[in-house]
A and B are shown apart, each in its own frame.
Chain A
Amino acid sequence: MKNGIEIRWHGRGGQGAKTAALLLADVAFKTGQNVQGFPEYGPERMGAPITAYNRISSDKIRVHSNIYHPDYVVVVDETLLDSVDVTAGLKANGAIIINTAKSRAEIEKHLKGYTGRVYTIDARKISMDTLGKNFPNSPMLAATVAVSEVMPREDFFREMSASYQHKFAKKPEVIDGNMQALEMAFEELEEDIENDKVSLSA
């Protein structure tokens, strides 16, 4: 795999980081890409740190190892920042996306001097506002697509809508909430991403 991106997800068992990685593989597949989405299992229990991975490429993907030099890292639970070295191997020209209510400036202190881009998103709040429950993986998935630009925004929304229609065929009332969660995540990050683009090109 020469072209393409690698993503590492950090979460806790039961929070849906693995599901988010598999959803990202799913939606990237639907837009015509070669994909890999896989979890790394340790002792399986609720709340234990877990890692999941994505490779997304226009090339055939043959490598079957974990990812040590990701382009992007996604942290679904900020309490992991003190116990897991989330920026290990993260490329300086990549980015980290963290689910937190804290500001960028506050969160950067926990990132061991990582010099790449840092994005924060309050996925819990978005999920509570749109679904009434804390399911951070939909907003985190949208945030990952927004930051990585792994596919065009309209393709992402089109495929996610189709996917939710299918997945929640028997619970149509949650489809709108999930779509809103994706949109709010994109909107929350839009300004930061644009500002970073300006400063990167300067």
Chain B
Amino acid sequence: MNVRLSDCKIGEEVEVSKIEDGNIAPKLIEMGLTEKLITQIVLVAPLGDPIAIDINGFILSIRKAEAHQVLVKKIKP
């Protein structure tokens, strides 16, 4: 079942299933946030926004609005 990355909790392991089209999509892909990537939220700023995700050891911070464009599948532990 797909959920949005912006709705995930810190530390939940997820697999990116789809990045919605938009201006921001190519930039996210350039930075390594690609489909099939296994990732998780590692830091959340106070007030819940922005968030930081782990891209194979590269910590990328994005706003919730950008994370909203990313659909993910939760990986069962």
Query: Do A and B share a complex?
Result: no
